Chains A and B, each alone.
Chain A
């Protein structure tokens, strides 16, 4: 039980990390390697407001989200739209966007270094024990997990119950056909990309309550997000959530029962198994 809850809490963290990338990659078709930098930037925001004004990170997210949405929107319009227009195929867009956002990640690191310096930044927020089912857990992790549940739930409902969500799902399945039925693909793709950015930055703000970040920590999160998105199936919110929780539980199981040194090995072994037996991801559709 203890292991299960610890694993689910870790899975919640992973879901926060990966959800934004899933929107960006699944819908806007941008493999955003600068995703981790935006996450760290969100963490910086939370850190700044908490240390300068004791503002709770759970309130800061309402500032961080629109800011990240705006920044991501501008990045998409200025930097990525030309790539989308020029790309002759999905493969070409992926290559181009990987290269472009790889460069963008360096710009992001540089900007954060200039603004905040390279120091570790962390603060203590809700670092109190809470007892669940007879075992103790960190309150900040539990709170972030609940926030992750809310965010993922809202996203899921939005994608499945609203017209805009339907359009977005249509683009994820088939951008070309979506245009034929009157969906403004460029606009919706920009929205999906910006929304992905907002979710990522909010994730960063929540994660910063219990992880130590620094300006160049982003790449670790990009890698983890990539694994989870591909495991879960590109463009599928459910897949990302399931894959994130699954990965969290497996890592914790291995760490608790076998050896903490093997968590990475377990994560990548799982990844290889998924790639071998379900290359489209747990919930992905077989490409036609």
Chain B
């Protein structure tokens, strides 16, 4: 019985405390819901790319007194849910935010599958859905089906085409030969990219000398790297997820894989990647990129580090932040009426950390980065669609 009394007291105290904090903020804040993985396979990615930006954005807005809506300043309040990387949970949480918490706006979840799974719920409750980490070739279809769904990070074929394009450019300049080793993680993202890239490589006149997939969560990737090495490729391309991006690169370093170009996909732009591989990361190509020399990005990166304690990655971090800036500017322009915000998103141009962003007839932002490369300790964008500041690509020169 005694234990129960203590528990009840503790619970009552906690309730009282939380009551206190809510009354302190009670100047009618704008409620922003956020659903994404805090656990499960995508949690490692959200911890770098997604959650810190939401916190940074809310911190900055509240620090300057809130958003200006209809002549008064309103703070933002973030309501966070963990979807456990499970589409069912994403849907439930979005529904809960819409009906129970009565959130004014909801930030898009993280991951292509989870964004597509929750799109009908966003649509049903009339929330604008500004997706970031949703890379797919179905953008026109999705935008037709869900008119309030917007896309910011680009599509699969652009990502694959520009990677192929960069390699073709290096070959045409006579810097490397014609043989490609391509591997992919056997998961939606990797399969889709490999399927898109295969015909593109062939069309560009490359010879694919090694082509294989490996299951997600493979603990030993050395057979993959050894197999690729035995095929004597000039370039190695992996459509990989974070743990295997690290695993493949470590093996490539140990095998001193003698390629002129080395590409891994997701997580290559993470600060942890550069931190772990140091000098060996030099010249590694990866999906994404930014223009790290732009003043806007540098201010953003400094604020990101000051508020969250971590550096942003060199790809989707800034885009996530830009998606929140877009929401912010739309709210300040037309208020908290969700239909008006959605309509405004379609026609206005927004000034973001990445530069101006506007949405085309498919609700898609057509200015995005596609390929980056570690150069002198920074992940520089080397190929983009309609973005300025791409750096010339370099050869991979050894692993030391």
Interface residues of A (CB under 8 A from B): 2-3, 6, 9-10, 13, 109-110, 113, 117-124, 127-129, 136-138, 141, 210-212, 214-217, 220, 224, 248, 251-252, 255-256, 259-261, 263-264
B47 / chain A contacts, CB cutoff of 8 Å? 117-120, 214
Residue from the list B43, B227, B251 in contact with A260, Cβ < 8 A:
B227
B residues 173-232 near A (Cβ < 8 Å) are 183, 186, 212-215, 217-224, 226-227
B residues 248-276 near A (Cβ < 8 Å) are 250-251, 253-256, 267, 270, 272, 276
Stretch in contact with the other chain, from B33-41, B123-131, B139-147, B152-160: B33-41
- Please list the 3 inter-chain residue pairs (A to B) with the smallest Cβ-Cβ separation, ordered nearest first: A118-B47, A255-B223, A118-B43
A127 / chain B contacts, CB cutoff of 8 Å? 250, 253-254
Whether the Cβ atoms of B186 and A216 lie closer than 8 Å is no
Whether the Cβ atoms of A260 and B38 lie closer than 8 Å is no
B226 / chain A contacts, CB cutoff of 8 Å? 2, 6, 256
B186 / chain A contacts, CB cutoff of 8 Å? 261
A121 / chain B contacts, CB cutoff of 8 Å? 272
A222 to chain B: closest CB distance in Å?
12
Nearest CB to that of B246 among chain A residues? A212
B213 / chain A contacts, CB cutoff of 8 Å? 259-261
Residue from the list A123, A129, A214, A263 in contact with B256, Cβ < 8 A:
A129
Residue from the list A13, A210, A217, A263 in contact with B215, Cβ < 8 A:
A263
B273 to chain A: closest CB distance in Å?
9
Whether the Cβ atoms of A138 and B222 lie closer than 8 Å is yes
Whether the Cβ atoms of B41 and A216 lie closer than 8 Å is yes
Whether the Cβ atoms of A10 and B219 lie closer than 8 Å is yes
A275 to B247, CA, bound (A): 32
A122 to chain B: closest CB distance in Å?
6
Nearest CB to that of A3 among chain B residues? B223
Q: Is B243 an interface position by the 8 A CB rule?
A: yes
A117 / chain B contacts, CB cutoff of 8 Å? 47
B242 / chain A contacts, CB cutoff of 8 Å? 120, 212
User: 12 other contacts beyond A216-B40, A255-B227, A260-B212, with CB at 8 A cut-off?
Assistant: A6-B220, A13-B220, A118-B37, A119-B44, A124-B276, A137-B222, A138-B222, A212-B242, A212-B243, A214-B44, A261-B212, A264-B215
Whether the Cβ atoms of B256 and A119 lie closer than 8 Å is no
Q: Is B46 an interface position by the 8 A CB rule?
A: yes
A122 / chain B contacts, CB cutoff of 8 Å? 246, 272, 276
What are 8 A-B pairs with beta-carbon distances under 8 A? A6-B223, A118-B39, A120-B270, A121-B272, A122-B246, A214-B43, A214-B47, A252-B223
Tell which of B38, B183, B215, B219 has the most Cβ of chain A within 10 Å: B219
Tell which of A10, A127, A129, A252 has the most Cβ of chain B within 10 Å: A127
Residue from the list A137, A215, A261 in contact with B43, Cβ < 8 A:
A215
Nearest CB to that of B185 among chain A residues? A261
Q: Is B355 an interface position by the 8 A CB rule?
A: no
B279 to chain A: closest CB distance in Å?
11
Contact with A along B36-77 (1 / 0, CB 8 A): 011111011011100100000000000000000000000000
Whether the Cβ atoms of B44 and A211 lie closer than 8 Å is no
Interface size, chain B (Cβ < 8 Å): 44
Whether the Cβ atoms of A129 and B214 lie closer than 8 Å is no
B39 / chain A contacts, CB cutoff of 8 Å? 109-110, 113, 118, 215-216
Whether the Cβ atoms of A119 and B48 lie closer than 8 Å is yes
Whether the Cβ atoms of A263 and B214 lie closer than 8 Å is yes
B212 / chain A contacts, CB cutoff of 8 Å? 259-261
A264 to B242, CA, bound (A): 19
A217 to B217, CA, bound (A): 9
Tell which of A3, A6, A137, A216 has the most Cβ of chain B within 10 Å: A216
A136 to B222, CA, bound (A): 10
A10 to B39, CA, bound (A): 27
Q: Is B356 an interface position by the 8 A CB rule?
A: no
B171 to chain A: closest CB distance in Å?
26
A211 to B246, CA, bound (A): 8
A123 to B256, CA, bound (A): 19
Whether the Cβ atoms of B218 and A260 lie closer than 8 Å is yes
Whether the Cβ atoms of B215 and A261 lie closer than 8 Å is yes
Contact with A along B319-356 (1 / 0, CB 8 A): 00000000000000000000000000000000000000
B44 / chain A contacts, CB cutoff of 8 Å? 118-120, 214
Nearest CB to that of A251 among chain B residues? B220
Tell which of B48, B224, B243 has the most Cβ of chain A within 10 Å: B243
B187 to chain A: closest CB distance in Å?
11
Residue from the list A124, A128, A260 in contact with B224, Cβ < 8 A:
A260
A13 / chain B contacts, CB cutoff of 8 Å? 219-220
Nearest CB to that of B218 among chain A residues? A263
B221 / chain A contacts, CB cutoff of 8 Å? 260
Whether the Cβ atoms of B224 and A255 lie closer than 8 Å is yes
Whether the Cβ atoms of B254 and A124 lie closer than 8 Å is no
A64 to B51, CA, bound (A): 30
Whether the Cβ atoms of B255 and A136 lie closer than 8 Å is yes
A10 / chain B contacts, CB cutoff of 8 Å? 219-220
A212 / chain B contacts, CB cutoff of 8 Å? 242-243, 246-247
Q: Is B88 an interface position by the 8 A CB rule?
A: no
Q: Is B277 an interface position by the 8 A CB rule?
A: yes
